[in-house]
Amino acid sequence: MESVQAIKQRFEIIGNDVMLNRALEKAIQVAPTDISVLVTGESGVGKEAIPKIIHSLSHRKHAKYIAVNCGAIPEGTIDSELFGHEKGSFTGATQTRRGYFEVADGGTIFLDEVGELPLPTQVRLLRVLENGEFLKVGSSQVQKTNVRIVAATNINMMESIKKGKFREDLYYRLSTVEIHLPPLRQRQEDIHLLFRKFASDFAHKYKMPTIRLEDDAIQLLKKYRWPGNIRQLRNVAEQISVLEESRNIGLEKLNEYLPNASDSNLPAIVGTRTKEGDFSNEREILYKVLFDMKSDLNDLKKLTLELLKSSDTDKVQEENQSLIRKIYGDNGEEVEEEESQALEVLPLPEHRSEKPLVAPQEDKYHFAEEIQEEETLSLQEKEIELIKKSLERNRGKRKAAATELGISERTLYRKIKQYDL
For 91-138, the pLDDT digits (tens) are 888 899 999 999 999 999 999 999 999 999 999 999 999 999 999 999
Rounded to an integer, what distance in angstroms lies between the CA atom of residue 169 and that of residue 184? 31
Q: What angle do CA 51, 229, 72 make, to 5 degrees?
A: 55
Q: What is the pLDDT of residues 197-242, one digit of tens each?
A: 999 999 999 999 999 999 999 999 999 999 999 999 999 999 999 9
End-to-end CA distance of the chain: 98
Q: Kindly give, in sequence order, each residue whose CB lies less than 8 Å from that of residue 226, ignoring residues fewer than 6 positions away.
A: 183, 184, 185, 191, 232, 233
CATH 1.10.8.60 fits 185-263, yes or no: yes
* Rounded Cα–Cα distance for residues 49 and 43 (Å): 13
pLDDT-based confidence at residue 57 (cuts at 50, 70, 90) = very high
The pLDDT, as a whole number, for residue 207 is: 93
C-alpha 234/C-alpha 211 separation (Å) is 13
Region of 330 (left: φ > 0; alpha: ψ -120 to 50; beta: rest) is: alpha
Q: What is the mean pLDDT of residues 358-386?
A: 54
- Position 411 scores a pLDDT of 83
What is the structure's pLDDT at 353? 43
User: 32: how many CB neighbours lie within 10 A of its CB?
Assistant: 11
Q: Name 215's Cβ contacts closer than 8 Å, sequence gap at least 6.
A: none
Q: How do residues 237-291 score in pLDDT, each as one tens digit?
A: 999 999 999 999 999 999 999 987 665 454 444 444 444 444 455 666 776 677 7
- CA distances to 56, 161, 170, 229, 386 from 30, rounded to whole Å, are 12, 26, 19, 26, 86
Residues of the chain with CATH 1.10.8.60: 185-263
Average of per-residue pLDDT values in the chain: 81
Q: 30 pLDDT band (50/70/90 cuts)?
A: very high
Which of residues 33 and 356 earns the better pLDDT score?
Answer: 33
Please say whether the beta carbons of 224 and 261 come within 8 A. yes
Q: pLDDT confidence of 88, banded at 50, 70, 90?
A: confident
Average pLDDT over residues 306-324: 63
- pLDDT for 364 equals 42
User: What superfamily does domain 4-182 belong to in CATH?
Assistant: P-loop containing nucleotide triphosphate hydrolases (3.40.50.300)
pLDDT per residue as tens digits for the range 135-181: 999 988 999 999 999 999 999 999 999 999 999 999 999 999 999 99
- Model confidence at 329, pLDDT cuts 50, 70, 90, reads low
